[in-house]
Structure 1
Amino acid sequence: MSSTIRRVTRFALWSLLAALIAAGVVLWQNSYAMDEQRVSIRHGGHTLKGVLATPRDGRKQHGLVVYIHGDGPVDATHADGYKPLWEANAKAGYASLSWDKPGVAGAPGDWLGQTMDDRADEAAAAIAWARTRPDIDGDRIGLWGASQAGWVLPKIAARTPVSFVIAVSPAINWLRQGRYNLLAELRADGASPARIQAEVTRSDTVRRLLRRGASFAEFVTAMGGEANGMTAGRWGFIAKNHTADATRDLPALRGIPVLLVLAGHDVNVDIADTERGYRQALDPGGALTVRHFPDATHSLLKQSVEQSDLLVTLTALLAPRSLFADGFLDGQRRFLTEVSPASY
């Protein structure tokens, strides 16, 4: 065998070994200390397709964290992004329940047809289902919700008893949040004053259209014939929900332990406005805990990771727990442990 052939063979063998090691690392890092099962929940004449993740601790009953998604077409696992959080819950003795939004991953319906009240009804039905299960402690069921879920969480608590709430990057007022997000993204892009004024003027036009209940066709006409990425379904969703304001619903959380999680690099939500709203509504009850993560983005990912698509992908494959801001996962576990200790 020539030296060239030997070198090629060695290179091929080492490449194969490296690929096997990498595959093993990916498999190991994406394995979680919990069991998952698909579940079906009947609600309003259709079926919610969900996932129930339970701890591997030998207990016959567990508390439950019910997940309420943010905006967008989210499936039950949030493309596996929830799994590190579910694992943290499992370490505290809690199961986790989540489901595909209507119309996502083959689920019936269309999430764009929902109001925030519809979403709350859906979650209340899921909690009622969970309370019928012998492996779930019906007295230790709480909520986890991110972003848009901030308008849903207190509505759920007004419908059915919950033991705690974890609110991650929630907003208070839909229109204020939209304006904050618009300006924050323009500043991040280094937009000129002229561009900022043009975008604000366009946003004001959209608000006037929403106030008078304009159709999608009227929106397109007002935008000069350009939909600018808007769809008829999305316009209908915004039209149904743009008056959302958590201020009037937050009192339903008084006396319930609430963990409010806020990110230092949040361009979606004005965290000062959110913290002020939660403190005004809930501090008198003495059950509010606020945690700031200065290095995190709206999704509680590390800002240093999220700014690179490549780094997000590599971290998700090789160290998915490291996607999140330092202390976020452990803080969630500690909150659950302290708020309602598991019974043995």
Structure 2
Amino acid sequence: MDSLVSRGGFALVVLLLSAVVAGCASENNTPDESYHSTEVTMQNAGTTIGGTLTLPDRDGPFPAVVLIPGGGKQNRDEEFAQHKPFLVLADSLTKAGYAVLRTDDRGVGATTGDKSEASYDDLASDVLAQISYLRQRPDIDPTRIGVLGHSQGGSLAPLVAQKAPDEVAFVVLMAGPAQTGCAVLQHQMRVQLQATGTTSADRLAASDDAIRIECDLLRDGNFDEARKNAREANQQLPENERAPDEAIDLAINQEYASQATHDPEPALRSLRIPTLALFGSKDVQVDAAANEPLMRNFLSNNPKATVHTFEGANHLMQSADTGMPDEYVRIETTIDPAVLDYLKTWLNRMVRN
């Protein structure tokens, strides 16, 4: 078993995830007169958080949705490859009568700080600050504020609800994992190896072992050794497949360590509020076949939970052919309209009634 080559693959998956874990496609969305947008700022322990609040053009108070993006440094639209999924969500949900808050990540746009140095607790505290801001506004119903997280945001959303059960009214998870972060990484690395023609059981097992070692190092806070191992493994790859050492060092950071070592089970099991978990059957980043049954298990004691998989949808909730990340940009629609309709129907049933 060639574990060094597998560990080189781990270095590449780190870089891939930092680029595409929240990637999306483009779509023209011209806001109409049914709502208006307001630029807002709030504070959290020295961090200034900037974003956009969209509000229906009628009398409130309104139920509100706070959007939580995926991994890497995202702007308020979760923009990637000419696509803006959070703009699409805000447009659709605000037209349906909900206030929607979307913000820039730390170190992006109008938000200060550095997301790469933030733990999951830090990122959850940013969302809690956003909820506190909304609760102070007279045009927001403080009893009907919920969170919608995509990908990494789907791990953070249950943590936020667990930390503030009296302030979060509902949770929506879009491609949010139920597996541990390390198991998600192992699956993603296997997908990449298989896409390049690697089918050897020994090679795939070696990849799993290598990622487990890296996760253990990150769990122990041994970032230097994790970076060293990834750099050394990277040198075993063909020259045209190697990532720059500097890129590997930057990719293995506090945010990534939180993602790789996170276990979502405790926070998911704690939920007793309306919870919707959505998966795509062609998602190659958060595998529906593995995550859906786990999610159903972890939410089994929550009578207000719904778990649903969209056939043919990818990690971005687009209708896809292969589900692979290189396909995202070629798909014209940002979010499948069927997903948006399902989401709004569920919100209207669980939040407005």
1:182 alignment partner AA: M
| 209-218 or 243-252, larger mean C-alpha shift | 209-218
* RMSD of Structure 2 on Structure 1 (CA): 2.7
Q: Per-residue CA shift, 1:77-109, capped at 9, x if unaligned?
A: 112321221122123210110111101125210
Residues 1:123 and 1:106: Cα distance change in structure 2 (over 3 Å)? closer
| 186-195 or 79-88, larger mean C-alpha shift | 186-195
TM-score (norm 1): 0.80
Map 1:175-214 → 2, pairs under 5 A: 175-193=182-200, 196=204, 199-214=207-222
Map 1:269-288 → 2, pairs under 5 A: 269-288=286-305
Q: Is the 8 A contact 1:150 1:246 kept in 2?
A: no
Instruction: Give how far 1:259 is off.
Output: 1.2
Indicate the residue corresponding to 1:245 in structure 2.
263
2:52 alignment partner AA: V
Instruction: Give how far 1:327 is off.
Output: 0.6
Q: Per-residue CA shift, 1:18-77, capped at 9, x if unaligned?
A: xxxxxxxxxx94302432221001111221011111123x12321100011111110111
How many positions carry a matched residue from both structures? 307
1:32 aligned to 2:31? yes
| 285-294 or 298-307, larger mean C-alpha shift | 298-307
Mapped partners of 2:56, 2:339: distance in 1: 19
Indicate the residue corresponding to 1:300 in structure 2.
317
Mapped partners of 1:308, 1:195: distance in 2: 22
Please, which runs of 5 or more residues in structure 1 have no aligned partner? 1-27, 316-321
Residues 1:311 and 1:133: Cα distance change in structure 2 (over 3 Å)? closer
1:170 aligned to 2:176? yes
1:32 alignment partner AA: P
Match of 1:216 among 209, 215, 224: 224
Q: Is the 8 A contact 1:68 1:145 kept in 2?
A: yes
Mapped partners of 1:238, 1:309: distance in 2: 22
Indicate the residue corresponding to 1:53 in structure 2.
54
Q: Per-residue CA shift, 1:281-318, capped at 9, x if unaligned?
A: 32333111122111110111121497696983683xxx
- Once the two structures are aligned, what percentage of the paired residues are identical? 27
Mapped partners of 2:291, 2:52: distance in 1: 30
Residues 1:270 and 1:63: Cα distance change in structure 2 (over 3 Å)? same
| 92-101 or 158-167, larger mean C-alpha shift | 158-167
Q: Is the 8 A contact 2:218 2:261 kept in 1?
A: no
1:338 aligned to 2:349? yes
Mapped partners of 2:282, 2:327: distance in 1: 19
1:39 alignment partner AA: V
Residues 1:287 and 1:195: Cα distance change in structure 2 (over 3 Å)? same
Indicate the residue corresponding to 2:147 in structure 1.
143
Over 6 Å off, 4+ runs = 305-311
| 85-94 or 120-129, larger mean C-alpha shift | 85-94
Residues 1:200 and 1:46: Cα distance change in structure 2 (over 3 Å)? closer
Greater Rg, structure 1 or structure 2? Answer: 1
Mapped partners of 1:292, 1:240: distance in 2: 26
1:168 alignment partner AA: M
For 2:148, what is the secondary structure of its paired residue?
strand
